[in-house]
């Protein structure tokens, strides 16, 4: 078979544009394809929810691939072990209650499982703003991350959805964008982003479940974004909380969009 360069180009362009167009209207839009965002996407899509995930970076995974100090190992505690098993991720018990997995295997299988159940992931696309109508988040405003990096004056486009999940990690980027709008109050004790606390693994892992919730009508937080918004501590390279937070937000959002 002879290969034609233009046919290769057409295949990529036609297929991508169709997929993007088909996902301009979805049930749930997730910002950030780290462990929390992917887990949320998996559990939602598994239940037939139409999920679109936007990741501004070239690769998915957030902080998971780097493990701890570039040692590609992560720790997961007992309550989250069942998620490793559901994803087919290998692990071993280091000490009672401490399970170790390869960070690359973990993020690879988590990504593959999320895609296989029907969630769509668009990498290199960042969230520039939100669509808010009648006091509720109704969509996202997206643009290529390369446009932002190059400081190009290029207008974004919008997508519509029933709910948005901010899973952008420590920076809680989506919530920051809504906070800066005048007259908007978040569902936090201060009405604003409180800011992430210093490391305290035990407290951070406990708090992340409580902090995973709706922060503004139609906008939910998960993973480190949740702790950052509500002022809970960071926890370092233990990822059970990230996985459990992703699963919890999926359960909350699924009920809210019925």
Q: What is the CATH number of the domain that holds 234?
A: 3.50.50.60
- Return binding residues for glycine: 234
pLDDT of residue 193: 96
Contacts of the segment 102-107: beta carbons below 8 A, 24+ positions apart: 102/72, 102/73, 102/74, 103/64, 103/65, 103/66, 103/67, 103/72, 103/73, 103/74, 104/65, 104/72, 106/35, 106/64, 106/74, 106/239, 107/35, 107/38, 107/60, 107/61, 107/64, 107/65
Write the CB contacts of 176 (distance below 8 Å, at least 6 apart in sequence). 193
Residue 104 lies in a domain: no
Q: What's the confidence (pLDDT) of residue 258? A: 81
In a domain, 202, yes or no: yes
Asked, for residue 32, whether it belongs to a domain, the answer is yes
Domain count, the chain: 1
pLDDT value of residue 150: 98
pLDDT of residue 183: 82
For residue 148, is it within any domain? yes
What is the rounded distance in angstroms from the CA atom of residue 213 to the CA atom of residue 70? Answer: 31
- Enumerate residues 6+ apart whose C-beta is below 8 A from 165: 28, 29, 30, 31, 37, 40, 220, 221, 222, 249, 253
Does the residue 33 lie in any domain? yes
Q: Point out the annotated binding site for Fe cation.
A: 155, 170
Domain containing 36 equals 5-65+110-256
> Residue 249 domain-assigned?
yes
96 domain-assigned: no
Residue closest to 187 by CA, chosen among 150, 160, 212? 212
Cβ atoms of 140 and 162 within 8 Å: the answer is no
According to the model, what pLDDT value does residue 210 have?
97
Binding residues for NAD(+) are 36, 55-56, 63, 127, 153-155, 224
> Any alpha helices (H) in the chain, and if so which ranges?
5-22, 35-46, 81-87, 103-116, 145-149, 173-179, 201-211, 224-230, 240-256
How much is the pLDDT for 132?
97
DSSP element (H, E) containing 52: strand 51-55
Distance, CA of 35 to CA of 244 (rounded, Å): 10
Q: Could you list the residues known to form a binding site, using ranges.
A: 36, 55-56, 63, 127, 153-155, 170, 224, 234
Digit-by-digit pLDDT tens for the chain (258 residues) are: 999 999 999 999 999 999 999 999 999 999 999 999 999 999 999 999 999 999 999 999 999 999 999 999 999 999 999 999 999 999 999 999 999 999 999 999 999 999 999 999 999 999 999 999 999 999 999 999 999 999 999 999 999 999 999 999 999 999 999 998 878 999 999 999 999 999 999 999 999 999 999 999 999 999 999 999 999 999 999 999 999 999 999 999 999 998
DSSP state of 162: S
- Asked, for residue 100, whether it belongs to a domain, the answer is no
């Amino acid at each position: 078979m002879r290969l034609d360069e233009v046919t290769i180009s057409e295949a990529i362009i036609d297929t991508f544009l169709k997929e993007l167009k088909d996902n301009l209207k979805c049930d749930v839009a997730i910002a950030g394809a780290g462990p929390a965002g992917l887990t949320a996407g998996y559990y939602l899509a598994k239940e037939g929810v139409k999920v679109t995930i936007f990741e501004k970076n070239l690769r998915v995974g957030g902080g998971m691939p780097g493990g701890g100090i570039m040692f590609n190992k992560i720790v997961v505690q007992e309550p989250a072990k069942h998620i490793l098993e559901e994803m087919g991720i290998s692990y071993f018990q280091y000490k009672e209650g401490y399970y170790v997995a390869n960070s690359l295997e973990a993020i690879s299988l988590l990504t593959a499982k999320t895609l296989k159940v029907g969630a769509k992931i668009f990498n290199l696309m960042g969230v520039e703003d939100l669509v808010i109508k009648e006091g509720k988040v109704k969509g996202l405003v997206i643009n290529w991350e390369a446009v932002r990096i190059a400081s190009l004056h290029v207008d974004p486009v919008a997508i519509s959805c029933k709910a948005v999940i901010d899973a952008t990690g420590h920076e809680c980027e989506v919530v920051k964008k809504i906070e800066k709008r005048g007259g908007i109050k978040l569902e936090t004790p201060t009405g604003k982003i409180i800011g992430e606390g210093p490391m305290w693994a035990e407290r951070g892992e406990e708090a992340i479940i409580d902090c995973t919730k709706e922060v503004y009508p139609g906008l939910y937080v998960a993973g480190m974004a949740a702790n950052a918004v509500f002022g809970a501590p960071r926890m370092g390279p233990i990822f059970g909380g990230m996985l459990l937070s992703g699963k919890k937000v999926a359960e909350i959002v699924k009920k809210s969009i019925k």
